[in-house]
Amino acid sequence: MSHFTHMKTRFQNLFYLEKALNRLNISYTQQLSNSDSYHTNLVIPQSNGYDIQFCWSGETYELVVDMSFWEQLYPIENFIDKIAQQYAGEVIIGESQKMGFQPVKYQQNSDGSNTLILERWNNDK
């Protein structure tokens, strides 16, 4: 018997969530939400057929998974942490660019942390 777990996240922006998954080389597909035709869910396929989903809850994208069939390289907590770290970096880059900053360096360090350097030139004379 399947028991789906719904894990709350702070992922609110689909664009940044997709960028985070891409940066981590996590394959996914888009699927229209069953409950809300304005939002898209993300499906991460697993070879056992029990896919992982990020489903729009009305406020955030919740991770929906049957824990009995978890087939990823990392435990679920590490999986979410890695995505959250990349998501945060993508939000910082994207929102900073709206204010005129440009990323100069984005580096993943051996200790698991990320280094992000942004710059903005003052064109006022």
Q: What is the pLDDT along the chain (125 residues), one digit of tens a residue?
A: 457 788 888 999 999 999 999 999 999 999 887 766 678 999 999 999 999 999 998 889 999 999 899 999 889 999 999 999 999 999 999 999 999 999 888 888 888 888 889 998 887 66
What per-residue confidence (pLDDT) applies to 38? 78
In this structure, what DSSP letter does residue 37 have? T
Where would I find the H helices in 4-108? Answer: 14-23, 76-98
Domain range list for the chain? 4-99
Give the list of residues 6+ apart from residue 108 with CB closer than 8 angstroms, or none. Answer: 114
Strands (E) located in the chain: 4-7, 29-32, 40-44, 52-56, 61-66, 102-108, 114-119
